[in-house]
């Protein structure tokens, strides 16, 4: 495999390129053990219901830290 030099790109340009490469990959392009794939599928299915129960970081902080007086 040929080496490609990326150092001439800015940090943001390299990060953008990483994102574009990542987005170009399909599920079958990224090897994962069967049990991991099953867990990811389970979480994706459960996500809409779990998201409804989510609490923001600010709400958690307000409940766990005493009010300053």
Please tell me the predicted confidence (pLDDT) of residue 45.
Answer: 92
Please tell me the predicted confidence (pLDDT) of residue 36.
Answer: 93
1 within domain boundaries: no
Cα 7 to its chain centre, rounded Å, is 25
For residue 57, the enclosing domain spans 11-64
42 within domain boundaries: yes
Cα torsion 13, 15, 17, 23 to 10°: value is: -150
Q: 67, 61, 27: which is closest to 44 by C-alpha?
A: 27
Distance from C-alpha of 22 to C-alpha of 29, rounded to nearest angstrom: 10
pLDDT in tens, 9-50: 999 999 999 999 999 999 889 888 999 989 989 998 998 888
Number of domains within the chain: 1
Tell me the backbone φ, ψ of residue 55, rounded to 5 degrees.
-125, 135
69 within domain boundaries: no
Question: Which residues have a Cβ under 8 Å from the Cβ of 37 and sit 6 or more positions away?
Answer: none
């Amino acid at each position: 495999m040929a080496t490609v030099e990326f150092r001439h790109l800015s940090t943001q340009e390299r990060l953008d390129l990483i994102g574009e490469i990542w987005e170009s990959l399909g599920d079958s392009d990224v090897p994962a053990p069967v049990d991991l794939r099953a867990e990811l599928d389970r979480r994706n299915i459960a996500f809409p219901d779990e998201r409804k129960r989510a609490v923001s970081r600010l709400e958690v902080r307000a409940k766990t830290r005493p009010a300053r007086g």
